[in-house]
């Protein structure tokens, strides 16, 4: 129906103020409409909610208007026949429908921009109340073309009542699937954003506006338009609003937006994760609705690996939902002496047990002064274990809702969905819950818990938290006793991520995990992925650098521990490692070499390693193809740098092992010194990152000294080590060291190298950027440092190609100040100035 039709149906010839009777009539019609059913409105299942206008329901009180009076007057009405009453009722309903259409048309017409603002306000309020009657009422309004633009225009009004009614009407219209896209196309998103951006806005207006966004963002196409930076910033601000309804609505909009993965990036950039994690953890007391919406948003974001790390960093941990039945196998130790979650027993100091068990119950409330204070990690572990075990014992840890399916295929589909379902818990409870699940009998639940442990081990704090909560022991037991690959793979992955902490490494080895990993490694039928993860764990547990450091700082390894390691790394294991290293990828090659190197550390004779074809492994490790490749274009530069980093790790590990093996006389007799010297010299001249050349240079010097004992700097090998390792390291030390002593030592060593006439030393120094740090050292108060810098710069100035670099570094003003101030080095400074073209 068009507006021209409206004018023909309205009996008045001019626009008049809306009467109370007209408003009450539409209100009554809304009351008499059938209640909304599920197929009438597009309500979407949780987490998307179409919110009703609760605080306006009082407007639907039964008004005592003329429309409630019977159409026939007098007592004669009571003597009518049944047929006459029926005909009268039909006529009344038809008349009511015609009147309804007329009055709705009138109110829509009253929204026009040429009407009085008060009339427009009354009209939009009447239509808003009328729209609460359901989809049929909304349909009656939306049959007039252009009404949406008139409603959206009212959002610019300065009147709070007008803005509230307009936003509420848009909220009702957006609850219907058919009109949601039309509302978005009418400019409602932009106007609602402008409205919410006002500095002082009534709470009711904020609630209606955000709820309109909540309903609009049900549609996926609208979600992409609504994921605007300004809207998201406003929503985050409203999460801290004093009104609960506003906070819930803002959380609902964010939950809808998070359903589209394309919105995740901008949501994270705006900062939704810290705000929602704070609400979820209950640091500010909030309603169940806002906590539910916060959980939904974070779970959607946590589907991305990177965003999951950000979520965990905020103190919430993803936990698998395994069903209430899985916890029935939980058996707490009710009558054992109390212990800490990580398995450490509490010392029993009481001479005799108390009569009624009070000493056990009150354990920990009275701590002796000589007992070390329990650290924060252990305290959190105790609290978390107590909470989760209590919930498991009373059957309230998880409530599983049965989903009845009408179709045969849906039950299996729902079961698969439940197996992938996650929830979020604060760190204290989440860590304890995962440890509790690891001890259950359900293998699917255990494997999912192990995966969650692996995902949650993102930093040292989380790894230590899992160790204190007692996660290491059940994981090692699962590794030893469960032979199913579906359980072993996540368990190995969890132990691998836990082993990144040196503290947890000791606990893993203390639980006897090394022999189990070695036994798995010996099995030739295991897959390549499992082999890689096992080597990863062993490379962390049996790290040679940690072993040597422990000997110096933590005392010698006790006998039983050392014997266990020797027994584990027997000849068959070394043979298997050599076999893996010959055919493996560079990543596996590096890890295998690291474990073999550990065998060389604990076995000084190295007979087991030398008996294998270890030289072939070293030859493969030192021949990295990436060193022969030219530098790539900008688009592939990042990939090339990553390949260089991986090659550097492998080369460094091989150089360390070769350096250690050179101590064996029998190994030196079988080694092709010329071949390995050429390989190491080639690596030294390559573009490998400098810190990976440390062991290469050391190994090359040691290898050369065994073949030709000359230690002169003019020895070709020593010259290359000086040019490609020593000088770049000294330049780096001068540039980035934070201590004056280190800078002084570096410049003195450089001066010594240059003064002794090492060939091409000045060219190497200039090419590695040594001019600028040398000029900066001229401004130091250390006289030795200034004198050495002047000497090196003077040698550099002998080559005219270096003049430009010296002048560009700002040497001229500094040299002039030294000369003018008559410092002890003024003569050298003057001589250098004369050599420069200034």
The CATH number of the domain holding residue 473 is 1.25.10
- Give the integer Cα–Cα distance in Å for 777 and 787: 10
* Average pLDDT of the segment spanning 751-777: 87
In this structure, the answer to whether residues 251 and 283 fall within a common structural domain is yes
Number of domains in the chain: 3
Per-residue pLDDT, averaged over 263-290, amounts to: 86
Residue where a domain stops, chosen among 511, 533, 560: 511
Q: What is the mean pLDDT of residues 268-282?
A: 91
The mean per-residue pLDDT over the stretch 283-288 comes to: 66
Distances from the Cα of 138 to the Cα of 99, 128, 627, 638, angstroms: 16, 9, 71, 57
For residue 484, give Cα distances in angstroms to 447, 488, 489, 505, 714: 10, 6, 9, 24, 62
Reported as a single tens digit per residue, the pLDDT across 99-127 is: 556 778 888 888 888 888 899 999 999 99
Asked if residue 40 has pLDDT above 50, the reply is no
pLDDT band for position 829 (50/70/90)? confident
Q: Is the pLDDT of residue 165 over 90?
A: yes
Q: Is residue 48 in a domain?
A: no
Q: Which residue has the higher pLDDT, 457 or 714?
A: 457
Residue 459 lies in a domain: yes
How far is it, in rounded angstroms, from Cα 36 to Cα 426?
39
Residue 429 maps to a domain: yes
CA distances from 526 to 487, 493, 583 (A): 14, 15, 15
pLDDT (tens digit per residue) in 373-423: 567 888 888 888 888 888 888 888 876 543 333 333 444 444 444 456 899
303 and 361 within one domain: no
Statement to judge: residues 126 and 221 lie in one domain? yes
Q: Of the candidates 463, 493, 511, which is a domain's last residue?
A: 511
Calpha distance 659→677 (Å, rounded): 12
Cα dihedral sign, 830-831-833-838: positive
| Close Cβ partners of 470 (under 8 Å, ≥ 6 residues apart) | 340, 341, 342, 343, 381, 385, 435
- For residue 234, is pLDDT > 80? yes
Taking the C-alpha atoms of residue 612 and residue 604, their distance in angstroms, rounded to an integer, is 16
145 and 216: one domain?
yes
Which stretch of 334-343, 648-657, 705-714, 816-825 has the lowest confidence by average pLDDT?
334-343
**Amino acid 236: pLDDT:** 92
> How would residue 548 be classed by pLDDT, with cut points 50, 70 and 90?
very low
Supply the pLDDT for residue 543: 74
What is the model's pLDDT at position 324? 85
Q: Is 823's pLDDT higher than 80? A: yes
Domain that holds residue 101: 95-314
- State the pLDDT confidence band at 265, using cuts at 50, 70 and 90: very high
pLDDT band of residue 53 (cuts 50, 70, 90) is: very low
The answer on 391 and 279 residing in a single domain is no
180 found inside a domain: yes
Regarding whether 252 and 122 lie in a shared domain, the answer is yes
Separation between Cα atoms, residue 774 and residue 734, nearest integer Å: 8
326 and 235 part of one domain: no
Asked, for residue 620, whether it belongs to a domain, the answer is no
In the chain, % of residues over pLDDT 70: 75
Query: Does one domain contain both 280 and 384?
Result: no
- Residue 484: count of CB within 10 angstroms of its CB: 11
Mean pLDDT, the chain, integer: 78
Task: Compute the average pLDDT of residues 426-449.
Answer: 92
DSSP 723: I
For residue 39, the model assigns a pLDDT of 34
537 in a structural domain? no
- Do 136 and 165 have their domain in common? yes
Polymer length of the chain: 838
pLDDT at residue 267, rounded to an integer: 93
With bands split at pLDDT 50, 70 and 90, how would you rate the model's confidence at 478? very high
133-143 pLDDT per residue, tens: 888 899 988 88
Q: Are residues 240 and 388 in the same domain?
A: no
pLDDT exceeds 50 at position 366: no
- What is the rounded distance in angstroms from the CA atom of residue 16 to the CA atom of residue 262? 50
- Which is more confident, 563 or 457? 457
Query: Is residue 36 domain-resident?
Result: no
Q: Is 707 exposed, middle or buried (0-12, 13-18, 19+ CB in 10 A)?
A: exposed
pLDDT number for residue 532? 87
Greater model confidence, 341 or 748:
748
pLDDT at 204 over 90: yes
Identify which of 469, 492, 468 has the alpha carbon closest to the alpha carbon of residue 479: 492
The verdict on 286 and 396 lying in the same domain is: no
Decide which of 23 and 825 is more confident: 825
Is the pLDDT at 337 greater than 80, yes or no?
A: no
Q: What is the mean pLDDT of the segment spanning 545-549?
A: 52
pLDDT bucket at 472, cuts 50 / 70 / 90: very high
Domain-embedded: residue 701: no
- What pLDDT digit, counting tens, does each position of 68-96 carry? 333 333 333 333 434 444 444 445 555 54
Comparing 225-229, 447-451, 626-630, 678-682, the range with the smallest average pLDDT is 626-630
CATH number of the domain that 760 lies in? Answer: 1.25.10.10
> Within 10 Å of residue 641's Cβ, how many Cβ atoms?
14
Cβ-proximal residues to 244 (8 Å cutoff; 6+ apart), any chain: 286, 287, 290
Q: Is the pLDDT confidence value at 767 over 80?
A: yes
pTM: 0.74
pLDDT at site 546: 58
Cβ-Cβ contacts under 8 Å for 308 (sequence gap 6 or more): 301, 302, 318, 455
pLDDT band per the 50, 70, 90 thresholds, residue 459 = very high
Segment 428-439, tens digit of pLDDT = 999 999 999 999
Q: Which residue has the higher pLDDT, 297 or 576?
A: 297
> Where residue 523 falls among pLDDT bands split at 50, 70, 90?
confident
Binning pLDDT at 50, 70 and 90, where does residue 284 land? low
Question: What proportion of the chain, given as a percentage, has pLDDT over 90?
Answer: 28
What pLDDT is stored for residue 557 in this prediction? 44
Exposed (0-12), middle (13-18) or buried (19+): which is 835, by Cβ within 10 Å?
middle
Q: Say whether both 161 and 299 belong to one domain.
A: yes
């Amino acid at each position: 129906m068009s507006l021209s039709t409206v004018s023909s149906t309205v009996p008045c010839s001019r626009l008049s103020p809306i009467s109370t009777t007209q408003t009450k009539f539409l209100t009554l019609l809304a009351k008499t409409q059938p209640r909304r059913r599920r197929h009438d409105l597009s309500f979407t299942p949780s987490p998307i909610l179409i919110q009703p206008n609760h605080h306006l329901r009082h407007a639907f009180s039964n008004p005592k208007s003329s429309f409630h009076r019977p159409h026939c007057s007098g007592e004669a009405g009571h003597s009518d026949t049944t047929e006459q009453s029926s005909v009268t009722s039909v006529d009344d309903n038809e008349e009511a429908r015609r009147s309804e259409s007329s009055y709705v048309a009138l109110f829509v017409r009253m929204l026009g921009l040429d009407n009085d603002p008060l009339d427009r306000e009354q009209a939009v309020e009447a239509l808003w109340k009328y729209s609460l009657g359901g989809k049929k009422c909304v349909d009656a309004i939306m049959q007039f073309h252009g009404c949406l633009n008139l409603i959206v225009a009212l959002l610019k009004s300065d009147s709070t009542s007008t803005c509230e009614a307009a936003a509420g009407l848009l909220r009702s219209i957006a609850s219907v699937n058919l009109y949601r896209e039309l509302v978005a196309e009418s400019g409602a998103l932009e106007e609602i954003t402008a409205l919410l951006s006002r500095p002082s806005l009534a709470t009711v207006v904020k609630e209606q506006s955000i709820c309109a966004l909540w309903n609009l963002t049900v549609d996926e196409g609208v979600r992409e338009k609504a994921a605007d930076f300004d809207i998201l910033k406003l929503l985050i601000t409203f999460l801290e609003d004093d009104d609960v309804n506003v906070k819930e609505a803002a959380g609902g909009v964010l939950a809808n937006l998070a359903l589209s993965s394309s919105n995740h990036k901008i949501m994270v950039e705006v900062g939704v994760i810290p705000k929602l994690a704070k609400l979820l953890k209950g640091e500010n007391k909030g309603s169940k609705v806002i906590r539910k919406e916060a959980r939904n948003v974070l779970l959607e974001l946590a589907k991305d690996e990177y965003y999951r790390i950000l979520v965990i960093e905020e103190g919430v941990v993803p936990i698998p939902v395994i069903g209430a039945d899985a916890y029935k196998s939980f058996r707490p130790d009710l009558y054992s002496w109390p212990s800490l979650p990580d398995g450490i027993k509490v010392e029993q100091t009481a001479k005799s047990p108390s009569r009624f068990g009070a000493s056990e119950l009150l354990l920990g409330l009275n701590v002796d002064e000589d007992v070390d204070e329990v650290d924060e990690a252990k305290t959190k572990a105790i609290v978390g274990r107590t909470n989760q075990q209590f919930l498991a014992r009373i059957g309230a840890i998880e409530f599983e809702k049965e989903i009845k399916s009408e179709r045969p295929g849906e039950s299996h589909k729902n079961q698969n969905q439940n197996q992938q379902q996650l929830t979020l818990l604060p760190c204290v409870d989440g860590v304890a819950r995962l440890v509790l699940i690891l001890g259950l009998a359900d293998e699917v639940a255990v494997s999912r818990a192990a995966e969650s442990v692996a995902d949650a081990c993102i930093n040292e704090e989380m790894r230590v938290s899992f160790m204190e909560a007692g996660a290491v022991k059940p994981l090692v037991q699962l590794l030893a006793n469960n032979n199913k690959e579906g359980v072993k793979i996540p368990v190995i992955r969890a132990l691998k991520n836990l082993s990144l902490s040196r503290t947890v490494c000791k606990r893993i080895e203390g639980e006897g995990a090394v022999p189990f990993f070695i036994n798995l490694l010996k099995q030739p039928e295991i897959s390549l992925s499992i082999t890689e993860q096992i080597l990863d764990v062993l490379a962390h547990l049996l790290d040679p650098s940690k072993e040597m450091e422990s000997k110096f700082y933590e005392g010698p390894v006790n006998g039983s521990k050392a014997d266990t390691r020797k027994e584990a790394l027997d000849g068959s294991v070394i043979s298997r490692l050599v076999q893996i290293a010959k055919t493996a990828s560079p990543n596996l090659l590096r890890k295998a070499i690291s474990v073999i190197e550990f065998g060389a550390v604990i076995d000084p004779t190295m007979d087991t390693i030398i008996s294998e074809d270890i030289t072939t492994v070293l030859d493969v490790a030192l021949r990295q193809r990436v060193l022969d490749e030219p530098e790539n274009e900008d688009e592939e530069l990042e990939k090339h740098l990553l390949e260089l980093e991986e090659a550097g790790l492998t080369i460094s590990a091989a150089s360390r092992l070769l350096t250690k093996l050179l101590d064996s006389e029998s190994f030196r007799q079988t080694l092709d010194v010329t071949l390995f010297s050429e390989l190491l010299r080639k690596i030294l001249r390559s573009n490998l990152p400098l810190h990976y050349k440390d062991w290469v240079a050391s190994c090359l010097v040691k290898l050369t000294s065994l073949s030709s004992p000359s230690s002169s700097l003019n020895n070709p090998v020593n010259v290359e080590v000086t040019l490609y390792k020593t000088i770049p390291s000294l330049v780096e030390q001068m540039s980035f060291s934070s201590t004056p002593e280190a800078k002084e030592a570096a410049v003195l060593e450089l001066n010594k190298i240059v003064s002794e006439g090492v060939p091409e030393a000045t060219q190497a120094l200039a090419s590695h950027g040594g001019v600028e740090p040398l000029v900066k050292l001229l401004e130091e108060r250390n006289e030795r440092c200034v004198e050495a810098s002047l000497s090196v710069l003077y040698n550099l100035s002998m080559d005219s190609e270096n003049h430009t670099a010296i002048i560009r570094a700002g040497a001229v003003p500094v040299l002039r100040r030294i000369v003018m101030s008559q410092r002890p080095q003024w003569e050298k400074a003057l001589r250098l100035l004369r050599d420069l073209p200034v």
